[in-house]
Copies of this chain bind each other. A is one copy, B any other.
Amino acid sequence: MIRFDSDYIEGCHPAILARMAETNMEQTVGYGCDPHCDRARKLIQAACGRDDVDVHFLVGGTQANATVISSILKPYQGVVCSCTGHIGVHETGAIEHGGHKVLAIPGPDSKLSASAVEKLFQSHFNDPSWEHIVQPGMVYLSFSNELGLIYTLEELKAIKAVCEKWHAPLFIDGARLGYGLAAPGCDVTLQDIAQIADIFYIGGTKQGALFGEAVVIVNDALKKDFRYYIKQNGGMLAKGRLLGIQFETLFEDGLYMQLAKHADDMASLIREAFREKGYEFLTDSPTNQVFPILSMEKVAELQEKFGFETWQEVGDQMAVRFCTSWCTPVENVKALIEAI
């Protein structure tokens, strides 16, 4: 069975394991204050093109989202996101557990548009009984998102302009940031993200690390006391150096973007193979997730040899997801293309 189920079915890049072994008996302080974390912070600042951002390493994505959102919103505020946003549908209500409503913009789109966000803010602040309604307090989007889509630089700037108008921070969930930035046609860079977002994170778990996400705080107003939030939300690792070592490895020679590019390249091959055979796609994803729409028979046929997710019925057909990763072997892709 060759698996394309998700981008976290393997361990991590071997260089990370090697570094862990090398440093295993070092004695360091805990909780992210060790030299490895310090160095990783500097490398990430350099990659972002600015040394005035704060960088924190958190254990995983749910904590990263819960922690960031908890640190920004007031109790009567909610977080705006698309109706497929991970925080709204796949975190067992972690955001509500922290007291906040997820203000999902309904509709067919998995991407936020500046106009839809503007409309939501207007509709709140124009309502005379606004105090009876949850106030939109920040905007959340994923880059790339649940359906593999990315935003253009122009789209991001337009959303940011709406955020600024309404004094609402923009938070970019980058669990798959690299896969987005490395995608063909992407005109956004990490430096752009570090200019536009008020806060964002660089995903490790799905991009070649064992686990861990690097939260980058751009907006000065959001920096104070952030470590309290990390601890309270269970995101602070006792042996914090494990996170430092991983991001050190990923960011010291451009490894992070290389791995991302590999995954996107493998996905492009798969996408092209389906396209040539005339298949339609659920979304026009340019990243490491490919969503062809297959007949039920084709699904059954492919399932004999390959692991992948059935995503959503489309008429009497099925949209499925093939997910490549930083380590997807080209032979596996070739075997799949053969079968297509």
Contact = CB atoms under 8 A, between A and B. Distances in A.
Interface of A: 3, 5-6, 8-12, 14, 17, 20-21, 23-31, 59-63, 66, 70-71, 74-76, 78, 89-94, 96-102, 106, 129, 131-135, 205-206, 210-211, 225, 227-239, 242, 307, 327
B90 A132 contact: yes
A138 to B, nearest CB: 14
A225 B73 CA distance: 13
A10 B23 CA distance: 9
A97 to B, nearest CB: 5
A92 B63 contact: no
The 9 tightest CB contacts between A and B, nearest first, are A11-B24, A76-B228, A63-B234, A92-B232, A93-B134, A131-B227, A92-B231, A96-B101, A9-B27
A93 B232 contact: yes
A331 B152 CA distance: 60
Given A17-B20, A97-B75, A235-B234, A228 B11 contact: no
A100 B102 CA distance: 11
**A interface SS class:** loop
A20 B11 CA distance: 8
A6 B26 contact: no
10 contacts: A9-B28, A14-B21, A59-B59, A59-B234, A76-B93, A76-B228, A91-B132, A92-B231, A96-B96, A205-B238
Given A10-B27, A205-B239, A131 B92 contact: yes
Contacts of A3: 27
A205 to B, nearest CB: 5
A301 B210 CA distance: 41
Contact of A26 (B10, B205, B230): B10
Contacts of A237: 59-60, 211
